[in-house]
Amino acid sequence: MEPEFPDILCLLRHEKKISQRKAAEELQISQALLSHYENGLREPGLAFVRRACDYYNVTADYLLGRSALPGGEPKLTEMTQSLGAHEEDNPVQLFGSVITVLFKLLDGLGGTALSLEACRIFEAVAYKLFRYAMKLRDDEMRFSVPEDSFPDLSDVERRLSELQFRAALNRLKAGADSAPVHEKYFEKEFPVLCGNLEKMLERIDQRISRHQEGNEDAR
C-alpha cells in the first residue's frame, strides 16, 4: 500500500523530531489544522504544500506520495527506463531510495563523521566507473592517474575507505551510548522508503547466494 499525504506529513514531522505545536507554528497554521491534515480530515491548499515542502526539504511529489525519493526522482534516459518495466522495479530509482535511507541511518548513528567515511567509499566506486565511461571523451577531461593504473588504484582507495568506515563503526559500537539497530528499525523509521530498501537488499542477496552456490559446486 502506497503511503498517502497525511501519513507522509506526519512521518516527516517525526523524523524532524519536533512537536505538532512547533511544526504548526513554523508552518504558519494552527495546531488543530495541522492535526486535521495529518489525520486526513482536511486537505490543504497549494500554499501549505509549498511551505511544507520548503520546511521539510522535500519535493511535492514526495509529500504527495508520488515519489519514493525526498529530493525528487532522477531524470531517466530511455536506457535507464528500460531497466525496469515499472517505476518501482527500476534499480536506478531503487538505488537512489536506498542511499537516502543509508545516510539517514548513518547520520542517526554517528553523525556527519560516519557519513563522510561512507561518502569516500562511494566516491572511489564512482571515480572508477566514471573513468571507464569517459574513455571515449578523455580529450575533454585529463586525469593525473594514468589510464593503465586507475582501476587498481581506485580499488585500493575504496578498500582503505572501507577499512576506515569499519573502524569508525567499531569505535561507535564500543561507545557507551551506542545502540543496536533492530530488525524493525527501518520499517519504523523509514516506512516510505523501506520497501525499496528491501527490494535492493534482496536482489543483491540473491546474486551473492548464486556466487556462493557456484563456489560450492566447483569444489
* Residue of 206, 188, 187 lying closest to 197 (CA atoms): 187
Please work out, in degrees rounded to the nearest 5, the angle formed at the alpha carbon of residue 182 by the alpha carbons of 180 and 184.
155
Phi and psi at 181, nearest 5°, equal -95, 110
Q: Is the pLDDT of residue 116 over 80?
A: yes
CB contact at 8 A, 192 and 3? yes
> In 3D, which of 152, 95, 154 has the Cα closest to residue 125?
154
Q: What is the mean pLDDT of residues 100-121?
A: 79
Share of the chain above pLDDT 70, in %: 69
Q: Which residues of 125-138 are buried (b: 16+ CB within 10 A; e: fewer)?
A: eebbeebeeeeeee
> What is the structure's pLDDT at 72?
55
Q: Are 63 and 13 in contact (CB under 8 A)?
A: no
The reported pLDDT for the residue numbered 216 is 63
The Cα 80–Cα 186 span in angstroms is: 27
- Residue 128 confidence (pLDDT) above 80: yes
Please give the residue that has the higher pLDDT: either 73 or 30: 30
What is the reported pLDDT for 69?
Answer: 62
Distance from C-alpha of 15 to C-alpha of 203, rounded to nearest angstrom: 28
Q: Where are the domains of the chain?
A: 5-66, 79-218
Say if residue 4's pLDDT is above 80.
Answer: yes
**What superfamily in CATH does domain 5-66 come from?**
lambda repressor-like DNA-binding domains (1.10.260.40)
**159 and 121 Cβ atoms separated by less than 8 Å:** no
Q: pLDDT class for 219, splitting at 50, 70, 90?
A: low
Triad 60, 66, 72: Cα angle to 5°: 55
Are the C-beta atoms of residues 26 and 15 closer than 8 Å to each other? no
Considering only residues 177 and 118, tell me which one the structure prediction assigns the higher pLDDT.
Answer: 118
Whole-number pLDDT of residue 207: 84
H-only helix segments in 175-193: 185-189
* Cβ–Cβ < 8 Å for 23, 34: yes
Residue found by looking up cell 491548499 in the block = 45
| H/E run at residue 115 | helix 91-133
**pLDDT reading at 157 higher than 80:** yes
- Report the alpha-carbon distance of residue 162 to residue 178 in Å, rounded: 20
